Amino acid sequence: MGSEKRAGRPVAGTELPPLEIPVTRTLIVAGAIASRDYQDVHHDAELARQKGSPDVFMNILTTNGLVGRYITDHFGPTAVLRKVAIRLGAPNYPGDTMVLSGRIEEVDGDTATVRVVGANAIGRHVTGTVTVTVPAPDGEAAS
């Protein structure tokens, strides 16, 4: 799915197609640096192990960005994220794959609430909801 996709008007009960995200060491480290999170557990495997983790792991800001990408990839470039409320669970370690899935729970005019889950091999990495405004296509009134 590319960012040019346009899903049309949101309909409650619609399942979003899953998005598989390979969790690479580069993604974890680059996400931490890009979000200015310099905690060693996100970039230094040896220090992460000294603190009880088997390896570096993804930070919440990277996860938050990936959840936002999942929603805007589905709804298209005019979609506006209004609220992203997530909780982390199982860590995302290098070499795993996170699969994001979603379901439109509620629609009010041009605003939808989407339930999102991101799972990896050891469990649910992220759960939450995203509120997104999806402007009606030109010439179409919001219902």
pLDDT value for 137: 72
Q: Is residue 115 part of a domain?
A: yes
Q: Could you tell me the pTM of the whole model? A: 0.89
Q: Is residue 140 part of a domain?
A: no
Q: Is residue 77 part of a domain?
A: yes
Q: Is residue 8 part of a domain?
A: no
Distance between CA 73 and CA 1 in Å, rounded?
6
- The per-residue pLDDT for range 88-118, each reduced to its tens digit, is 999 999 999 999 999 999 999 999 999 999 9
Domain holding 95, by residue range, is: 15-133
Total number of domains constituting the chain? 1
Distance between CA 126 and CA 88 in Å, rounded?
5
Instruction: Find the distance separating the first CA and the last CA of the chain, reported in whole Å.
Output: 26
3-state secondary structure of 133: strand
Sequence-separated (6 or more) residues with CB below 8 Å from residue 130? 67, 68, 71, 81, 83, 84, 85, 102, 113, 114, 116
pLDDT value for 131: 98
Q: Is residue 142 part of a domain?
A: no
- The per-residue pLDDT for range 41-62, each reduced to its tens digit, is 999 999 999 999 999 999 999 9
